[in-house]
Chain A
């Protein structure tokens, strides 16, 4: 390999370099703006932004009051996106989420007119999604996958970027409808929101019990967000790193894993969506670091949120108190980066 100087870069390469730098700067600004409103939860905020940039959806798991809604609302506000929140309850119907046809009586006579539901927003917060019936959950998850909803014979496209952030409470499981595995797979990441530390709690109290602070500033436009999404897709991945991701995802399957614990405790391993999620997350990590290609470290960083809800434990695993996080960590420790 010869040694061209940076000045030898052609125009496209220079544009890429500039684009990566701008990407990094914009993400930093966005996270800074979110951090200005949200105390702590830096990893969660980074992952949410990464999912937004990757075009995926996020399942947040945590007890109430940890700032999940604030995170989503602030993110939407900082990117100048429309935001809606749906509180899922057992009596919530699909039409309450996606909308319904109403009879409109005007000068032209009576006609049906589609009344859009709250899903027609750029950022949708599906709060406590596991409290709704599977029928309603399905309506939302279909929209997540197809980026459109169909009512009657009419299909309505959802406005891009469409980003769903669903939450579920891990404690109150009574009267809930846990999401089926197929629907869990639709989420790019599953994030766990932890309780704030003492110092963070001080900051929360300072910010929320005094005079109301300044409103969230718009730091990104919707178009810029779409440009950034496009840039993410252009990031190349070296074959050894992609190979590592493939081996990692394969190793989550009991039949193909080299790890005994996976054989013993796992019922199903990750789907290919898991590998996609890891690669996309690694790309965004690389761009956020100002690099042009993901590294093994990027893969390791995003592997757990991308795979934890895709590795399904069997009865033994549940009984032994094993978590999928632990298994993915063990796999990351056991698998060589390059065979």
Chain B
């Protein structure tokens, strides 16, 4: 019957489709195999490939062709080719199940119709599915077989960015820093300064863990950065304490009756005094000369408040405004900025100083009124002032501690602590120190600077920075100064003049002369490069000489120039701050893996601005 023919055609189609898919899979697998074999330097045998292809094709055809094809499916296909009314399907299903007259009539009807059915129309030949896959697989196989691959030896190992393993540092790698930390511990013990002792101990522990390999570099950087910040703050507070204590001691020394106490306190502030001696001296003074002692204590309170209020910037200030302002800030919670070490109202140190000032005032009042507590109060205040002086005496140790932490951080950043990085860092460090920087000894004697207008010293704020304008670079020799229009203030003009002179060697030709309008800020140096001849080797690589038209180098130029000068240009330092702040901000708010965090910080440490020691900013 026709259904059998339909089934055969369906099976043939399925087998063909299976063959195509099998061939596609075989080709894909062979492509992978060939690629691997070629990668290992071998050559795949063609006969084996052909055999595998044949096997894959045959397997696919057999797998699909052997699938069961039901008569119901054939009937549906035949029905679809007839009139879509499922006559054959119904006849097939009802023929066995229901031998009713209706079923017999249905069967006769189905047979009559299927006789006119052409199996080829029911199952038309069609393109087997999977041909496109076969084509792609064939292409992949051809590519794997024909495209030349890099040899094993020619491969470049990918640059591995790995977190440095924790391993002990080489012996002696941190000896100097640990010695500094131990010195700070000793100093803290001598001064009795717990704050210094704690910070020094923490640094020592960090260094020990780092040396033992118990701390990776990224974590160490974080710890050191935090420690550095705390040490800096402690040093600032110590400086205030010291200045405040010195001011108070001076006030006491100013009076004949309390001079002995003042001297004792001054020695205490220098780290050599004795608390008991100061206490005894001031107590004796209070007992013998209460009125004079009261005046001295009042003066000491005022001096202390003044010193505290100025944050040490104006030591010895005896302004009477000081105590009032200190009080006001303490009461208001103050909005005074803390920049530049200025006291912040409300911080513990400010409160402590304010308390001490009040205590001094109270003691003075007691002595002035002849109160019995005059002596004891004076002794206690002497004790307080001595303690304050000792805290102030720790400022140098704290600063050394801060520098030590900074130094270790820098060394970690440069990778100096790791033996394997030493060589790489050495070359970079050489570049960073500007070893390759030009050391021109150019003479400005042939320069055509005149600079006369600049020396007039008319100040114009334009262009203190190197971004100020084209021609701002001293290494762009020319007549910046010479054509200056006198808008600059003397300082900058002088710098420009000097730099111009020293950079003469860097300028091979006077034809490169800039056309900028030199602007100085101070009286200019000797014109026509006379001073440059004295300045010897060019230390300067930058002169912030703006031009009137405002055009200046972009950031890329600034960075490029800075890289060529050991990252020691001033413009670069400012720009670096922007980027570093953005990076710290991003690292602080983003989940960055520790290894990557370390890489970023290390990179920024490597390119951090260097001290401006080489930059010629020589003033006349």
Closest CB-CB distance, B368 to chain A, in whole Å? 89
Pairs across A and B, CB under 8 Å, 15 listed = A1-B111, A3-B1, A8-B108, A10-B104, A12-B101, A13-B108, A16-B101, A236-B98, A241-B89, A291-B87, A292-B109, A293-B87, A293-B94, A295-B86, A338-B76
Chain A residues near B (Cβ < 8 Å): 1, 3-6, 8-10, 12-17, 20, 234-241, 286, 289, 291-298, 338
- Asked if B150 CB lies within 8 Å of chain A CBs, one says no
Q: Which residues of B contact A292 (CB under 8 A)?
A: 87, 90, 102-103, 105-106, 109
Contacting A at CB under 8 A, from B67-122, are 72, 76, 79, 84-87, 89-95, 97-98, 100-109, 111-112, 115
A234 to B98, CA, bound (A): 11
Chain B residue, CB-CB nearest to A14: B105
Q: Which residues of A contact B79 (CB under 8 A)?
A: 295
Known: A1-B1, A295-B86. A240 touches B93 (CB 8 A): yes
Q: Which residues of A contact B3 (CB under 8 A)?
A: 1
Asked if A6 and B87 sit within 8 Å, CB to CB, the answer is no
Closest CB-CB distance, B94 to chain A, in whole Å? 5
Q: Which residues of A contact B93 (CB under 8 A)?
A: 238-240
Known: A3-B115, A295-B84, A296-B86. A236 touches B108 (CB 8 A): no
Asked if A3 and B90 sit within 8 Å, CB to CB, the answer is no
Asked if B111 and A236 sit within 8 Å, CB to CB, the answer is no
Per a CB cutoff under 8 Å, which of A5, A20, A295, A338 touches B85? A295
Known: A4-B111, A6-B108, A293-B87. A13 touches B95 (CB 8 A): no
Q: Which residues of B contact A298 (CB under 8 A)?
A: 85
Chain A residue, CB-CB nearest to B84: A297
Asked if A15 and B101 sit within 8 Å, CB to CB, the answer is yes
Asked if B108 and A235 sit within 8 Å, CB to CB, the answer is no
Per a CB cutoff under 8 Å, which of B89, B100, B101, B104 touches A238? B89
Contacts A13-B101, A13-B104, A17-B109 known; list 14 others, CB within 8 Å. Answer: A1-B91, A1-B111, A10-B101, A13-B105, A20-B105, A236-B102, A238-B86, A238-B93, A240-B93, A241-B86, A241-B89, A293-B106, A294-B86, A295-B90
Asked if B102 and A240 sit within 8 Å, CB to CB, the answer is no
Asked if B90 and A241 sit within 8 Å, CB to CB, the answer is yes
Closest CB-CB distance, B113 to chain A, in whole Å? 11
Asked if A9 and B108 sit within 8 Å, CB to CB, the answer is yes
Of B105, B107, B108, B109, the most chain A CB neighbours within 10 A belong to B105
Closest CB-CB distance, A229 to chain B, in whole Å? 15
- 1/0 per residue, CB under 8 A from A, across B1-20: the answer is 10100000000000000000
Per a CB cutoff under 8 Å, which of A1, A9, A286, A295 touches B104? A9
Asked if B85 and A297 sit within 8 Å, CB to CB, the answer is yes
Chain B residue, CB-CB nearest to A290: B109
Q: Which residues of B contact A235 (CB under 8 A)?
A: 102
A241 to B107, CA, bound (A): 16
A292 to B89, CA, bound (A): 12
Asked if B85 and A236 sit within 8 Å, CB to CB, the answer is no
- 1/0 per residue, CB under 8 A from A, across B344-368: the answer is 0000000000000000000000000
A6 to B105, CA, bound (A): 9
A3 to B86, CA, bound (A): 18
A9 to B103, CA, bound (A): 11
A15 to B105, CA, bound (A): 9
Per a CB cutoff under 8 Å, which of A4, A286, A293, A294 touches B108? A4
Closest CB-CB distance, A250 to chain B, in whole Å? 20
Q: Which residues of A contact B92 (CB under 8 A)?
A: 1, 238
Q: Which residues of B contact A12 (CB under 8 A)?
A: 101, 104
A240 to B91, CA, bound (A): 11
A8 to B86, CA, bound (A): 22
Q: Which residues of B contact A238 (CB under 8 A)?
A: 86, 89-90, 92-94
Known: A4-B111, A338-B72. A16 touches B102 (CB 8 A): yes
Asked if A236 and B106 sit within 8 Å, CB to CB, the answer is yes
Q: Which residues of A contact B109 (CB under 8 A)?
A: 17, 291-292
Asked if A17 and B105 sit within 8 Å, CB to CB, the answer is yes
Q: Which residues of B contact A239 (CB under 8 A)?
A: 93, 97
A13 to B79, CA, bound (A): 22
Closest CB-CB distance, A288 to chain B, in whole Å? 12
A8 to B95, CA, bound (A): 15
Q: Which residues of A contact B100 (CB under 8 A)?
A: 234, 236
Asked if A16 and B105 sit within 8 Å, CB to CB, the answer is yes
A10 to B89, CA, bound (A): 22
Known: A291-B87, A295-B84. A3 touches B111 (CB 8 A): yes
What 4 A-B pairs come out closest when comparing CB atoms?
Answer: A12-B101, A293-B90, A295-B86, A292-B106
Q: Which residues of B contact A338 (CB under 8 A)?
A: 72, 76
Asked if A293 and B86 sit within 8 Å, CB to CB, the answer is yes
Of B1, B91, B93, B101, the most chain A CB neighbours within 10 A belong to B101
Chain B residue, CB-CB nearest to A286: B85
Known: A3-B1, A239-B93. A293 touches B84 (CB 8 A): no
A15 to B102, CA, bound (A): 9
Q: Which residues of A contact B85 (CB under 8 A)?
A: 286, 289, 291, 295, 297-298
Asked if B89 and A234 sit within 8 Å, CB to CB, the answer is no
Q: Which residues of B contact A240 (CB under 8 A)?
A: 72, 89, 93
A239 to B115, CA, bound (A): 24
Asked if A293 and B111 sit within 8 Å, CB to CB, the answer is no
Closest CB-CB distance, B146 to chain A, in whole Å? 46
Known: A3-B1, A10-B104, A12-B104. A236 touches B84 (CB 8 A): no
Closest CB-CB distance, B18 to chain A, in whole Å? 23
Q: Which residues of B contact A241 (CB under 8 A)?
A: 86, 89-90
Closest CB-CB distance, A235 to chain B, in whole Å? 6
Closest CB-CB distance, A11 to chain B, in whole Å? 8
A16 to B76, CA, bound (A): 24
A338 to B74, CA, bound (A): 13
A22 to B76, CA, bound (A): 28
Of A1, A4, A10, A296, the most chain B CB neighbours within 10 A belong to A1
Closest CB-CB distance, B92 to chain A, in whole Å? 7
A338 to B70, CA, bound (A): 12
A241 to B92, CA, bound (A): 12
A235 to B92, CA, bound (A): 15
Chain A residue, CB-CB nearest to B106: A292
Q: Which residues of A contact B101 (CB under 8 A)?
A: 10, 12-13, 15-16
